[in-house]
C-alpha cells in the first residue's frame, strides 16, 4: 500500500500548485509576485487561452489519476486478500477483543498473529499530553510537549484549505512521534446556534466551507500514515443534553446541511475513521443508527474504514453491532463487560449478530491498520519542531479578522508610537488547555503581551494592566461561578490610569478555554468577566484604543461596534498566537481572515432561538429551521446580522469587475467555469477571499436566498489585478427532494454572485440550466 500512498502524498502538493495558477495576475506574475506566468500570461491573457490551459492541465491530471486509480485497485485487491487470510486464522474471541477499548485510548490487538493494539489520542488542538493507561491523570512524561495549533474556528477563518492541510500534516507528524495511530480530529459539526460550547473546536456554519477544510485536514493528517477520525457523526450541535438529546431533522436538511462535510471528508479526503456522536438523530442513537452508519455512510458513500464510538456513547450490544458501529470506546472498565466485549460474544453465539458482521468489523480495523501502524515505510514523525511552530504562525496569521478600522489606527505607526498600554487578562493568558476536553501540553505559547513586546518593545515603552479577573471554571457549579461576570472596579481603575498616559491602548478581552468548553453551552452572548465595563472605561480616556477579542464563537459586540473604532478578532490561536497578533497590529501581516459564522444582533435573531427549539423539550430538539442555518436564515428572513458570514476587512481594498462564465447555457453534469477580475486598490499587498454564491431565480421549491458554492483566497500585489477562476459543477446546484429521495437539479435561470462576504455582493451574472 505504501507505493500508492506515497504517490498520492506527492501528488497533493502538485495539485495544489496547479490550482494556484487559477489565480492569475494580469501583470504577468503569479499570485505571490515572484514567478512569471507561463507564456501567454500577462495583460493579454484571454478567456480562451485560460480555458485551453485549464483543459490541458485537467487532461494531465486525469491521466495521472487514472494511473493512480488502476494501481489503487490492484493493491486494494491484494490487501483485501491478505486481510481475509488473517481473519480466517482468528478465533471468535480474538475478533471480539479488537472491537472494544482495552484502555482509555487503545483497543485490542491479537499478539499471537502480530496484530498490534490500535492507539488513538485527542487532536483538534494538537496531540494531548500522555495520560495513564487507565485513568485521566498525567503520565508525567518529559517528551510529550507538543505544538499548540490554532482552534477549529480559527482554521475556518483562514478560508484556506491549504492552511487546513498544513495543520493536518503537523498533527500527523506529531502523532507519529508519539506513536498514535488515530487522531480524533478534525471536528466540524455545523455551527447551528452560537452558544454551543464546542463552537471553538468546530469549523463553520456552512457545509461547503466545512467540507473543503475537512478534506484538506484529513489529507494532511493521513499523508503521515496516521488516521484522521472525523467527528461527530452526526448533528451534534449542542452540549446541553448531548448524551441523550434527540435531534429531529428532516432528510433534506440532513442531506444539504449536516452531512455534506462528512461526505466530502470520506469520498474526497478518504478519511479512515469516523466517530459516532453521543446524541440521537430522528429517534436512534448515532452509535446504532442504521440510516446514518449503514445506509448512508457505508453503502451510499462507500466508506471502507472504521466507525468508532465517542467515549461511553454506546447503549446496546445487538443494535450497535448490526447497525454499523465497529469499535466501542469509553472511559472506564471493566473492559470485558462493555457492550462490545463479553455481551457481544454472547450475542454472536446466540445468533443475534452474525459472524459475517463481526468479520466485516475486524476487516475494517485491519484495513485501517494497514494504512497506519502496519503500513510500509512508516514515517518516524517529529514533535514541536521550528517548522511546526512556523506552520502554527502562518495559520494564526491568516485567521485573524479585522472587524473595524474606521480611524485607520491600524497598522500601528511605529515611527511615532512611544508608549503602549496592554490591558486585559487575555493579554497574559494561555489557551492550550482549560475546561472540560482535550488540551495540549504546549512546548511554548506566546501570549499577546509577549508578542507585542517582541514586536514593539525596542521603540516603545510597553506597560500592562490586568483590567479584569476571569473567575470562572468549567467544572464548577453555577453557584461556585457566581459573580464571574461582575466588573472588578479596582482593576478597571488601574487600567484607566495607565491608558491615560499612553499613545495607544491595546485592550485584550474575550473568552478563554474555561468559559468556552466541551460539556456545557454558554448561557448568553454577553462578554464575560465584566469586560464591557472595562472597554467603556478605557475607550473613554484613550482615543487610540485597539480592542482585540480572543474567543472561538460569536459574542454580543453591539456596544463595542457602535462606540469602538478599531476591533480585531483573534482566536485560541496556538503556540504563535502572540507573534501573529502583533505582526497584524504592526502591519507585517495584512489581515485576511473572514468570519466562518454569523454574529447576530440578538440571540433571538438566530434560528434555534427564534423558533424556540434549543435546548429542546423532553430531550427532543426539533430542527424547525430546516435548511435555513446560518446566513441562509438571515438572508432568507431579511434579518440584518451584526457581522455576517464571510466578513473581514484588510489594510488595503479590493475592487471586483468582469464576472463571467465560460458560457450561458449548461446541462446536468456540466462544469461552470467562472472568472472575475479582482484589483488591489491600495498600496499594500493583501489576500482576498473571493466567495461565489448561487441563487435560483423563481425556484419551484423552497430554497435559501443564496448558497456558497466556491471560494478562493488570492494574494494580490498593490495596484495589480488578478483574474481569479473557479469551477462549479451543475450537479452541485441540486436540492434534495425528500419525497423522491434523490438530488434534483432544477432547470431555469440562476444568478452567480462574486462577493467579499455574504452581504457584500460585488458582481452578479446569470446562466441557465436546461
Give the residue numbers marked as catalytic.
310
Q: What is the DSSP string of 282-320?
A: TTEEGGG-HIIIIIIIIIIS---SEEEE-TT----HHHH
Confirm if 678 and 724 have CB atoms less than 8 A apart. yes
Residue 168: all three cell numbers together: 493536518
Quote the CA–CA distance of 487 and 493 in Å, as a whole number.
Answer: 11
Q: What's 115's DSSP letter?
A: B
Confirm if 242 and 312 have CB atoms less than 8 A apart. no
Confirm if 629 and 607 have CB atoms less than 8 A apart. yes
Annotate 480-497 with b (16+ C-beta within 10 A) or e (fewer): ebeebbebbeebbeebbe
Decide: residue 48, CB within 10 A, 0-12 exposed, 13-18 middle, 19+ buried. exposed
Query: How wide is the angle at C-alpha 633 spanned by C-alphas 631 and 636, nearest 5°?
Result: 100
Helix (H) and strand (E) counts in the chain: 20, 28
Question: Which strands make up the sheet holding 118-122, listed edge to edge?
Answer: 101-103, 106-107, 118-122, 182-184, 227-233, 273-276, 306-309
Decide: residue 51, CB within 10 A, 0-12 exposed, 13-18 middle, 19+ buried. middle
State phi, psi for 680 to the nearest 5 degrees: -80, 110
Q: What is the DSSP string of 751-768?
A: EEEEESSSS-EEEEEEEE
Residue 652: all three cell numbers together: 488595503
Angstrom distances, CA of residue 402 to CA of 135, 584, 591: 43, 9, 6
Q: Which residues contact 600 (CB under 8 A, 6 or more apart)?
A: 194, 525, 554, 606, 634, 639, 641, 642
Confirm if 237 and 205 have CB atoms less than 8 A apart. no
Is the bond preceding 296 in cis, omega lying within 30 degrees of 0?
A: no
Confirm if 178 and 383 have CB atoms less than 8 A apart. yes
Q: Mutual orientation of helices 161-177 and 386-399 as an angle, nearest 10°?
A: 150
Q: Which residues contact 501 (CB under 8 A, 6 or more apart)?
A: 419, 421
Query: How wide is the angle at C-alpha 263 spanned by C-alphas 261 and 265, nearest 5°?
Result: 70
Residue 344: all three cell numbers together: 457481544
- Bridge partners for 643 per DSSP: 599
Residue 407: all three cell numbers together: 480611524
Q: What is the DSSP string of 659-725?
A: EEES-SEE-TT-EEEEEEEEEE-SSS-EEEEEEEEEEESS-SS---S-EEEEEEEEEE-TT-EEEEE
Q: Which residues contact 14 (CB under 8 A, 6 or more apart)?
A: none
Decide: residue 248, CB within 10 A, 0-12 exposed, 13-18 middle, 19+ buried. middle
Confirm if 217 and 167 have CB atoms less than 8 A apart. yes
Write down the residue that cell numbers 511615532 correspond to: 416
Quote the CA–CA distance of 3 and 6 in Å, as a whole number.
Answer: 5
Quote the CA–CA distance of 711 and 727 in Å, as a whole number.
Answer: 9
Confirm if 335 and 83 have CB atoms less than 8 A apart. no
The three-class DSSP label of residue 599 is: strand
Amino acid at each position: 500500500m505504501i507505493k500508492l500512498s506515497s504517490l498520492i502524498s506527492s501528488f497533493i502538493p502538485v495539485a495544489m500548485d496547479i490550482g494556484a495558477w487559477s489565480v492569475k495576475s494580469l501583470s504577468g506574475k503569479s499570485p505571490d509576485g515572484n514567478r512569471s506566468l507561463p507564456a501567454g500570461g500577462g495583460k493579454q491573457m484571454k478567456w480562451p487561452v485560460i480555458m485551453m490551459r485549464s483543459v490541458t492541465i485537467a487532461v494531465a491530471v486525469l491521466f495521472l489519476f487514472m494511473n493512480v486509480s488502476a494501481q489503487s485497485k490492484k493493491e486494494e485487491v491484494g490487501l483485501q486478500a491478505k486481510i481475509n487470510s488473517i481473519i480466517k486464522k482468528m478465533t471468535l474471541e480474538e475478533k471480539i477483543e479488537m472491537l472494544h477499548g482495552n484502555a482509555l485510548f487503545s483497543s485490542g490487538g491479537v499478539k499471537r498473529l502480530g496484530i498490534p493494539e490500535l492507539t488513538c489520542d485527542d487532536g483538534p488542538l494538537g496531540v494531548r499530553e500522555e495520560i495513564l493507561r487507565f485513568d485521566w491523570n498525567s503520565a508525567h512524561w518529559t517528551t510529550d510537549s507538543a505544538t499548540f495549533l490554532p482552534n477549529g474556528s480559527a482554521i475556518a477563518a483562514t478560508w484556506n484549505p491549504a492552511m487546513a492541510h498544513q495543520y493536518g500534516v503537523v498533527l500527523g507528524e506529531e502523532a507519529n512521534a508519539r506513536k498514535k495511530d488515530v487522531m480524533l480530529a478534525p471536528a466540524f459539526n455545523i455551527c447551528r446556534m452560537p452558544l454551543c460550547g464546542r463552537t471553538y473546536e468546530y469549523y463553520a456554519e456552512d457545509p461547503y466551507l466545512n467540507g473543503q477544510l475537512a478534506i484538506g485536514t484529513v489529507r494532511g493528517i493521513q499523508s503521515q500514515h496516521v488516521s484522521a477520525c472525523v467527528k461527530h457523526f452526526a448533528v451534534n450541535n449542542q452540549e446541553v443534553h448531548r448524551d441523550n438529546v434527540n435531534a429531529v431533522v428532516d432528510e433534506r436538511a440532513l442531506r444539504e446541511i449536516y452531512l455534506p462535510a462528512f461526505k466530502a471528508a470520506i469520498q474526497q479526503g478518504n478519511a479512515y475513521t469516523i466517530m459516532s456522536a453521543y446524541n440521537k438523530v430522528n429517534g436512534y442513537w448515532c452509535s446504532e443508527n442504521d440510516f446514518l452508519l449503514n445506509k448512508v455512510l457505508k453503502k451510499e458513500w462507500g466508506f471502507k474504514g472504521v466507525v468508532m464510538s465517542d467515549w461511553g456513547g454506546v447503549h446496546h450490544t445487538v443494535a450497535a453491532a448490526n447497525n454499523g458501529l465497529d469499535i466501542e470506546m469509553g472511559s472506564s472498565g471493566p473492559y470485558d463487560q462493555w457492550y462490545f466485549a463479553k455481551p457481544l460474544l454472547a450475542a454472536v453465539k446466540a445468533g443475534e449478530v452474525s459472524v459475517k458482521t463481526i468479520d466485516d468489523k475486524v476487516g475494517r480495523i485491519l484495513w485501517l491498520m494497514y494504512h497506519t501502524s502496519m503500513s510500509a515505510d512508516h514515517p518516524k514523525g517529529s514533535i514541536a519542531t521550528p517548522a511546526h511552530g512556523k506552520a502554527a504562525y502562518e495559520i494564526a496569521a491568516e485567521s485573524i479578522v479585522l472587524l473595524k478600522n474606521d480611524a485607520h489606527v491600524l497598522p500601528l505607526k511605529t515611527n511615532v508610537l512611544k508608549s503602549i498600554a496592554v490591558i486585559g487578562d487575555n493579554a497574559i493568558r494561555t489557551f492550550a488547555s482549560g475546561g472540560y476536553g482535550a488540551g495540549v501540553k504546549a512546548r511554548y505559547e506566546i501570549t499577546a503581551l509577549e508578542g507585542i513586546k517582541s514586536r514593539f518593545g525596542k521603540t516603545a515603552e510597553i506597560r500592562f494592566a490586568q483590567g479584569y479577573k476571569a473567575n470562572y471554571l468549567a467544572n464548577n457549579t453555577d453557584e461556585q461561578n457566581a459573580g464571574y461576570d461582575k466588573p472588578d472596579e479596582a482593576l478597571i481603575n488601574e487600567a484607566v490610569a495607565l491608558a491615560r498616559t499612553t499613545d495607544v491602548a491595546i485592550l485584550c478581552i474575550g473568552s478563554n478555554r474555561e468559559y468556552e468548553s466541551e460539556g456545557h453551552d454558554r448561557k448568553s452572548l454577553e462578554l464575560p468577566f465584566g469586560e464591557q465595563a472595562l472597554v467603556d472605561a478605557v475607550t473613554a480616556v484613550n482615543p487610540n484604543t485597539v480592542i482585540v477579542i480572543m474567543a472561538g464563537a460569536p459574542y454580543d459586540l453591539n456596544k463595542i461596534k457602535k462606540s469602538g473604532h478599531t476591533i480585531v478578532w483573534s482566536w485560541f490561536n496556538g503556540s504563535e498566537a502572540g507573534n501573529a497578533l502583533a505582526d497584524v497590529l504592526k502591519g507585517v501581516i495584512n489581515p485576511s481572515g473572514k468570519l466562518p459564522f454569523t454574529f447576530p444582533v440578538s440571540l433571538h435573531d438566530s434560528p434555534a432561538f427564534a423558533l424556540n427549539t434549543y435546548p429542546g423539550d423532553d430531550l427532543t430538539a426539533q430542527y424547525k429551521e430546516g435548511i435555513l442555518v446560518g446566513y441562509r436564515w438571515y438572508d432568507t428572513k431579511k434579518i440584518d446580522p451584526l457581522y455576517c458570514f464571510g466578513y473581514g476587512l484588510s489594510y488595503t481594498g479590493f475592487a471586483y469587475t468582469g464576472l463571467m462564465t465560460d458560457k450561458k447555457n449548461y446541462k446536468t453534469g456540466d462544469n461552470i467555469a467562472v472568472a472575475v477580475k479582482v484589483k488591489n486598490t491600495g498600496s499594500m499587498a493583501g489576500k482576498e477571499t473571493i466567495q461565489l454564491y448561487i441563487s435560483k431565480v423563481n425556484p419551484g421549491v423552497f430554497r435559501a436566498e443564496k448558497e456558497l458554492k466556491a471560494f478562493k483566497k488570492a494574494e494580490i500585489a498593490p495596484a495589480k489585478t488578478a483574474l481569479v477562476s473557479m469551477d462549479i459543477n451543475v450537479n452541485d446546484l441540486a436540492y434534495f427532494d425528500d419525497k423522491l429521495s434523490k438530488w434534483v437539479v432544477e432547470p431555469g435561470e440562476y444568478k452567480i454572485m462574486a462577493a467579499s462576504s455574504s452581504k457584500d455582493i460585488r458582481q452578479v451574472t446569470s446562466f441557465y440550466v436546461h
